[in-house]
Amino acid sequence: MHAVHRSFPLFRSRRLRRTPALRALVREHSLSPDDLIWPIFVRAGEEMREPVASMPGVERLSVDLAVGAARHAQELGIPVIALFPYTDPAKKTEDCAEAWNPDNLVNRATRAIKDSVPDIAVMLDVALDPYNALGHDGLVRDGEVLNDETLEALRKQALGHAAAGADILGPSDMMDGRIRAIRSALEDEGFKHTAIMSYAAKYASAFYGPFRDAVGASGALKGDKKTYQMDPGNSDEALRLIAKDLSAGADMVMVKPGMPYLDICRRVKERFGAPTFAYQVSGEYAMIRAAAQNGWLDVDKAMTESLLAFKRAGCDGILTYFAPMVAEALG
């Protein structure tokens, strides 16, 4: 591409900013409901709504209400919902067996949603932290998060989710080798159409706190996750992980968190051209909502601008708790 250099007044950049119609005509990136994945927290009970204190506007929903949320998402044009469980502490164990229970919360919710709203896609997380008495994404022995032993648990969890009808699996555990292990298990058991969106570049971030509150993992976590999640100072490593996961059978890749890592989103999309997503995580959402509650930001403008930044950085879509709000705003 050859730049054409024109000096003022031949070139006036404000000419194409003068009216909404002109701005729309030359806009390079836009946002639509098709770009959104809505994360929803599921809890036990019936007709139960439970606010998440650290995430204003977000609630834990019982399965029946999650079905209603899925129907609402479809009406708004949101193509995918992602389900996360608030697990009864009594069901959290060190062997994490609830993760592959066919009747655990997210599997029940998936079946119910697919029965009532069959055309919406359901994404389920593959990681052990919602079911782990020690709060980690993998099995723990003597304070060490075990890699290879965790892979078998993740295989069983993935197969349970696929059998429940999940369209997309999102391995978020960051164990080495988990994409190949999960893809092999899906192929061996006949789930060849189940897609994998790998949390391939997931950083050990300070922005996850409200999410851990929402799934009830904050109090359980012993230590931190720095031995398996990425160091925030690393960029080239993210590209190596993306390459590995794509070669192992991932169909889509994700960068997490979102806005602090837009440079990673851009590098991933430019290098691989694969479907690339980002997760606007709980801490990012909570900051915008808290600032808006204090009158410091216009929430509608801030959420739209923040999500547009992901598209500008090269993302094909965004997981965001703002999904229903922004879909309604887009009309």
- The CATH number for 251's domain is 3.20.20.70
Q: What does the block give as tokens for 58? A: 């977000």
Question: Regarding predicted confidence, which is higher, 306 or 213?
Answer: 306
Residue 3 clears pLDDT 80, i.e. is over it: no
Residue at 9 is within a domain: no
The packing angle between helices 323-330 and 299-312, to 10°, is 90
Nearest residue to 96 via CA among 60, 62, 135: 135
Q: Summarize pLDDT for 168-226 with one digit per residue, the tens.
A: 999 999 999 999 999 999 999 999 999 999 999 999 999 999 998 888 877 778 889 99
Computed over every residue of the chain, the mean pLDDT equals 96
Give whole-number Cα distances, 91 to 49, 86, 94, 111, 133, in Å: 21, 11, 10, 21, 9
DSSP E strands: which ranges in the chain?
Answer: 36-43, 49-51, 59-62, 80-85, 121-126, 140-141, 144-145, 168-171, 195-202, 252-256, 276-280, 317-320
Q: Which of 91, 256, 269, 311 is catalytic?
A: 256
Does the annotation mark 256 as catalytic? yes
Residue at 202 is within a domain: yes
| Residues whose CB falls within 8 Å of the CB of residue 59, separated by 6 or more in sequence, listed in order | 41, 49, 50, 51, 52
Residue at 218 is within a domain: yes
Strand, helix or coil for residue 145 = strand
Residue at 11 is within a domain: no
Q: Which of 91, 114, 202, 225 is catalytic?
A: 202
| Total number of domains in the chain | 1
296: left (phi over 0), alpha (psi -120 to 50) or beta: alpha
pTM assigned to the model? 0.95
Residue at 16 is within a domain: no
Q: Given pLDDT bands bounded at 50, 70 and 90, which one contains residue 111? A: very high
Residue at 7 is within a domain: no
Q: Given pLDDT bands bounded at 50, 70 and 90, which one contains residue 163? A: very high
The string of DSSP codes covering 59-120 is EEEEHHHHHHHHHHHHHHT--EEEEEE---GGG-BSS-GGGG-TTSHHHHHHHHHHHH-TTS
Largest CA distance in the chain: 72
Residue at 22 is within a domain: no
Strand, helix or coil for residue 305 = helix
| Residue span of the structural domain in which 161 resides | 30-330
Q: Summarize pLDDT for 210-240 with one digit per residue, the tens.
A: 998 888 877 778 889 999 999 999 999 999 9
Quote the pLDDT of residue 6. Answer: 84
For tokens 């050859």, the residue is: 2
Residue at 79 is within a domain: yes
Question: Regarding predicted confidence, which is higher, 284 or 217?
Answer: 284
Give whole-number Cα distances, 229 to 57, 137, 256, in Å: 28, 10, 10
Q: Summarize pLDDT for 129-140 with one digit per residue, the tens.
A: 999 999 999 999
